[in-house]
Chain A
Amino acid sequence: EAGVAQSPRYKIIEKRQSVAFWCNPISGHATLYWYQQILGQGPKLLIQFQNNGVVDDSQLPKDRFSAERLKGVDSTLKIQPAKLEDSAVYLCASSSFRTSGNGETQYFGPGTRLLVL
């Protein structure tokens, strides 16, 4: 079974530029998550999708971050404009939730390491 794919793996941009990250979840997984992991911290959920609908985006800084999952499969996370404090690893995860349940295993991709200069 192929894992969660993410690209690019690394990105360096200057502040105020825009950047986009792509995620392809495990085939058949209905639920997709985007997390932000700042160095030395645990992952923090940014947004959760169930198929192509948003379940939870309460911690997404909506003034600069956006995400979509148009066909209920792959997803894109965008930052525009980027700030220095956005430097982090952006992790995508998926699970086979059929409903917004609790306790299903989340499978993480390798992440995209973003450095904002």
Chain B
Amino acid sequence: QQQVKQSPQSLIVQKGGISIINCAYENTAFDYFPWYQQFPGKGPALLIAIRPDVSEKKEGRFTISFNKSAKQFSLHIMDSQPGDSATYFCAASGDGSARQLTFGSGTQLTVLP
């Protein structure tokens, strides 16, 4: 019940295209959903996060869409750039026994020039 399932495992997109990464969760105690970006040899860095009181959050070219009833959330990267090539992790946490940040398995994004 603590799992966060992420897809796809890898994604190749042309420069200027839209990258979409999906995550699904089961634990209804989760109420914080961040996305982390990780470059090779670096630690993950927070990209954008959402709480379930809103269905969408946008920061620049990055948008999180959240569907509470389906227990799914996704990251959309508009106008993808080669510099966006990295591994992206979704994660979730909540209060009580769910307060630990649980990460998805990651999506390796490659943006072709």
**Residue positions of A touching B, CB distance < 8 A:** 4, 40-45, 48, 56, 91, 93, 100-103, 105-111
Contact = CB atoms under 8 A, between A and B. Distances in A.
B105 A106 contact: no
B91 interface: yes
B58 interface: no
A4 B106 contact: no
Contacts, number: 56
Contact of B106 (A40, A103, A108): A40
Contacts of A105: 34, 46, 49
Interface residues of B, number: 27
Interface of B: 4, 6, 31-32, 34, 36, 41-46, 49, 51, 89, 91, 93-95, 98-101, 103-106
Describe A's contact surface by its main secondary structure. loop
Contacts of A42: 4, 6, 89, 91, 103-106
B93 A102 contact: yes
Contact of B43 (A56, A91, A103): A91
